[in-house]
Structure 1
Amino acid sequence: MAKRDFYDVLGVSKGASADEIKKAYRQKAKELHPDRNADNPKAEAQFKEAAEAYDVLKDAEKKAAYDRFGHAAFEGGMGGGGQRRPGGGYGGQGDFASAFSDVFDDLFGDIMGGQRRGGGQRATRGADLRYNLRVSLEEAHRGLQKTITVPTAVQCDTCHGTGAEGGAEPATCPTCSGMGKVRAQQGFFTVERICPTCSGAGQIVKNPCNVCGGAGRVEKDRALSVNIPAGVETGTRIRLGGEGEAGLRGGPSGDLYIFIEVEAHPLFTREGENLFCHVPVSMASAALGGDIEVPTIDGGRSRVKIPAGSQSGKQMRLRGKGMPRLRGAGAGDMYIELAVETPVNLTSRQRELLREFDDLSEHNNPESSGFFRKVKTFWDGMKG
C-alpha cells in the first residue's frame, strides 16, 4: 500500500513552519493516542504514522530531502536521512520515540501526580479552612463584629517557615536536581514520576527545624475578628483571604470561609428578607376589631389595627420592618398573621351566653352558611 504524503498525514501545507508542524502533530497525537481510542483498531497505526511524519518534517535536513525526493529520500540510502525499518519507521536519531518525546510535555505536562511539571514546588499554598458560625436572628438583623477562635497551622517562628534549622534555605534535591520529578524510558514512551527523595518538592531539608519537624508550620489556635454584615442568612459565605492554613516552606496561606447559620426564633419566621409573626387573637377581638401591639425584630413595638370580622390566616403588612437586604438598600416587610383562638374551659354563664349568641348568629356566618348549602346540594344530587 502506498505511503501517504507526510504533509497530508499531519494536515499541514508544504510551506508550514516548524511551530505549525509541531502544533499539528500535537493535535494528531492527542486525537489518535491508543489510550483514548480503545474502540478504534486503526488508531494505533494512525498514531504511529503521524509520529513517523513528524519525525521527518521536524528535522530541517530530513524535511529538505523529503521535499525534494519524497519517500524515496529515505529508501536505499538516498538522502542520508536514516535507513527504513522493516516495520515502516526510520532508524538513526529520528525515530518514533524521539518524535513523541518532543511533545510529551505538551500532551501530559499540565498536572502529574498533583505537581506541576517543569520544576519542583519550593513552596506549597496552605489549605482553605471552613468555620461554621451560628448567629441569632437579631444579630443577623443588625450585623455584628464577632471574635472567633480557629484551630489552624501557622508559620513556624523558629525557622520562619523554611522548615530548616536556623531558617536556612532548603537544599536542592540531588536525585531530581530540583525538578521534583524523574524520567525513565520504557520502549517508545518516556514515563515521568514524582521524585521519591523529595516527594516532588525539588528541595530537601538537611537539618529539619526541631520545632516544626521540617514542615515550616505548627498547629495553633488563632483569634480572628469577623465582621458579619446585616442581612445575612443561613448559607451566607464570608471569605477571609489569607486567613487559612499557612503554606509549606513559606508558601502563601489559604483562605478562611465562614458559613453562617441563623438560629430559629421563638417569635419570628423568616422567608428571605421578609418576617412573619403568628399572633393569636380572641374570637371577640376578631369579630369586633380593634388594635393590638406586636413586637418587631429591632426590639420595638408597633400597633396594628384588626379589621372587624377578621378570620384566622388574615395577614397585615408592616412595610420596612423585615430583614435588611444584604446586597441592596432598604429592608423587607413584616407580616402579622392572625390566629383566631377558640375559648376553652368555659363557665356555665359563658356557655349560656355563647348558646344565646349562636342562636342569634344565623346570618352572621356567611362562609359556613354557604358551605352547608353546597353540602345539601351535593347530598340531594347523590340521592337523585
Structure 2
Amino acid sequence: MNGLSMFANVGIAETYLSQENINIVVANELLPERARFYEHLYPECNMICGDITTEEIYQNVIETSRKQNVEFIIATPPCQGMSIAGKSDPDDPRNYLVTYAANAIRDLKPKFVLMENVFMQLKTHIPYKGQKVLIPDYLDLMFGSEYHIEKQVIDTKFYGVPQQRKRAIILMSRKDTGVHWDFPPKDEHIITLEEAIGDLPSLDPFVKEKEYRDVFPEYEEKLKKGLAVSKWHFPKDHVWRNVEVMMHTPTGCSARQNEVYFPKKKDGTMVGGAPRTYMRMDWDKAAPTITSYNHTISSFQNVHPGRLLPDGTYSDARVLTIFEMIRIMSLPDDWDIPDWASTQLIRTVIGEGVPPEAVRRIVKELKIKE
C-alpha cells in the first residue's frame, strides 16, 4: 500500500515500513531542516514542507495523497503539550494537532491508520461540538461507524527495542476491508543495554575545560577506536564538575546519592532537581526513554552505564553517543544521517522519534491477518 506520513519528523518511525510492503509516498513536516533530513533518507517520497494547520498546505497534502492512491496513514503529532517531560499543559495548542490527522482520515478514508503519541494522549481532552472530550472518544465519535479502532499504551521494550518507552498507539482498520488490526504479542525477552551497546568501545568524555583534560590520557586512543566502529561513536563534551561526579557514580545510580562527589552549588549544597537526574543507566535493563534532552548529564538518567575501573572510579562519565542512541532506538547501524546535520539536530530528532522496530512489528500484524 501507498502511505502518508503526517508530522513526519525525519522519518524514523517509517524506517522499516518498506519491509512490510508499506511505501510512504507523501510526507508532511513543519520544520525545513527536518524536511530536508527526511528527503535525504527518502528521496523518492513527496515531502511537503509547511504548516498542516494552513489551508494551502493541508489541501496540498490531501490532493497529493489522492493522486498517489494513499491507503495507509501514519500520524505522530507533536506531544509536548501532553508529555510528562514537558509542561503537561492541557490547553497547549499542539494537543489539538490530532484533529488535522482526523481531518485527513475523513477526507482520504484510508484502509489503515496508525497514530502514535505519548501515553497521556489517551487522557487528553480536545474540543468537539462545544464540549471537551478525550482524544480516544473523539476518534470513536468521528469514525466508530466506519473503522475498527484499537487503543493501547505499549512499552517498546516488549517489541524488540532496547528502550523503555511508553507510547499510546491507536490502530484503525476500515471495516469494509475485513481486517481487524490488533496489537502483536509481547516479547518474552527484553533486550538489555549490555546486549545493545555492550560491545562498543568505551569512550572518555571530552572535558570543556582544558586544564582537566589530562585526567583522561587515553582519550585520543579511545576516540580512534570508537570512530573505527562508526563516525557517530564519539563523546559529547561536558563541563568538568559534571564529569567528576559521574566518575564516582556507580552503574544504575545517581550522583545525588554520593556522599562526597555529588552535584553542588557554589555554596557546596546539592543542586536542585529530580532524583533520577545525574544518573547512570543499568546494563541489565533496557535503556530509559531517550528524550530530546539526551545531550546533558543533568537530565533524566542520561548517563552511560559505565564500568568499574581499578582505581575505584567508573568509565564513560558522559551521555550516550549518537551511535549508541541509534542502537537503542532500533535504527540500523548504517542509518544514513546527512553529513550537513548538526549533532544538536540529530540528537533532538532521535529523542523525538518513534522506535521503528516497534512500528514494524505492529504493521506486520496486517500482513499476518490478511
Q: TM over 0.5, yes or no? A: no
More strand by share: 1
- Structure showing greater relative contact order (alpha-carbon pairs closer than 8 Å, 6 or more residues apart): 2
More helix by share: 2
TM-score range, shorter chain: under 0.3
**TM-score, with length taken from structure 1:** 0.18
